[in-house]
Amino acid sequence: MQQLDIFADSESVQRTNDLMAAWIQFDRNAALRALQALRSVDATHPELANYQAVCDHLASWPTGCDDPSWPRTPTAIQTAVDQLLTQLIPLTQKMGDSGRTLLRKMWADLASASSIAKIDYAEGLTYTAELHWRAEQYAEMVRAAQHVPDADMQAPVQRWLALGHQKCGDNKMARLAALRFAWLAPQQFDMLMTEINNPELTKDWKAFQNDLSDLDATWFPVWCLHEHKADGLNLAPYPQNAGAMAYPILIDLIAQERTGLSKAIFTDRARLKDLGEHFFAFYLQRRSDFHSARNRSMRGNP
């Protein structure tokens, strides 16, 4: 049985740690020296080829906006994004925190490049907010998203705001942006729920699907308003879809119903029914349940 050489093993581990420390510091020269030192003590290390590839990427990465190789156009930034997604991320998957730290710094560089180049938000993966998201710079992500013209009507912007606010601990603003996203991109709402990881919002989304499984996500905000009247959010301006148009009508109905039945209530109920019979039936059933429970309580029945 071959005896383990503890000293040689520790040398290899130490040289690997030196290499990863150099990556975290973005120190190209130190990384190359550490890689050479690792190779000298462990020429058969299984990750040597990957480590060399990472060092090559680091060596070719621009040192700052004064570097001639700094990406200054949408095409150059897209090329750099593709490089990280298809080449560097697979290389660093086994490298733990060191690999993630290196990637965050590179994404942050690209976010700066995108901002300087004034990339339009419609470019998607190369827009500043998306790159800040990948760099885990959440406050910067929110600020970049807020600068997009007509942000309230842009689904990608509302996604960035929902994710950024959630990571910054502002649950109310995250919820507001997520509900607007439901109106603007209902087919992608499930994906946002997975990304945002907001327990209360996820709980409401599941309850909505249980109550109104025939309706899409555009009706989720008005369901939330109905179920959480005290937490009603101002989501104006409203997109031109039935679920969004029902929202201000329900706001008015909630206010009017506090003072008893009136002509205005019947008018607004008719408008609500015209927009969506399924939601209207749910609305009426909830009121019937409420009044039945109240009558039983007044009679002293359980």
Q: What is the pLDDT of residues 88-116, one digit of tens each?
A: 999 988 888 888 999 999 999 999 999 99
Q: What does the pLDDT read at residue 156? A: 94
Q: State how far the Cα of 244 lies from the Cα of 233, in Å rounded to an integer.
A: 13
d(CA 73, CA 121): 14
DSSP 71: -
Q: CA-to-CA distance for 157 and 231, rounded, in angstroms? A: 23
Main-chain phi, psi angles of 262, to 5 degrees = -155, 170
Q: Which residue has the higher pLDDT, 297 or 103?
A: 103
The most distant pair of C-alpha atoms in the chain lies apart, rounded to whole Å, by 92
Phi/psi at 241 (5° precision): -135, 160
Higher pLDDT, 66 or 217: 217
The CA distance from 255 to 93, in Å, is 54
pLDDT at 4 over 90: no
* Least confident interval from 49-63, 153-167, 212-226: 49-63
CA–CA distance, 116 with 55 (Å, rounded to integer): 27
pLDDT of residue 302: 54
Q: What is the pLDDT of residues 167-216, one digit of tens each?
A: 999 999 999 999 999 999 999 999 999 999 899 999 999 999 999 999 99
The whole-number average pLDDT for the span 35-50 is: 92
What pLDDT is recorded for position 3?
37
Section 149-165 average pLDDT: 96
Residue 166 has pLDDT above 50, yes or no: yes
Give the residue from 216, 213, 269, 215 showing the smallest Cα distance to 246.
269
Q: What is the tens place of the pLDDT at every residue in 272-295?
A: 999 999 999 999 998 865 544 444
CA gap 261, 16 in Å, rounded: 75
Q: What is the pTM of this model?
A: 0.85
Give the model confidence (pLDDT) of 235-273 as tens digits.
999 999 999 999 999 999 999 988 877 899 999 999 999
Per-residue pLDDT, 72: 87
How much is the pLDDT for 300? 54
In this prediction, residue 93 carries a pLDDT of: 86
Quick check: 81 pLDDT over 50?
yes
Cα–Cα dist 175/173, whole Å: 5
- Check pLDDT > 70 for residue 157: yes
Is 33's pLDDT higher than 70? yes
- Please count the CA atoms within 13 angstroms of the CA of 4 that sit on its side-chain side: 4
Residues 265 and 284: their CA atoms lie apart, in Å, by: 13
pLDDT score for 9 = 57
Average pLDDT value over all residues in the chain: 89
Question: Where do we find the tokens 């059933």?
Answer: 285
Residues whose CB falls within 8 Å of the CB of residue 76, separated by 6 or more in sequence, listed in order:
none
Instruction: State the CB neighbour count (10 A cutoff) for residue 139.
Output: 12
14, 38, 126 from 41: Cα distances, Å:
10, 5, 41
- Domains of the chain by residue range: 10-60, 69-78+85-134, 176-301
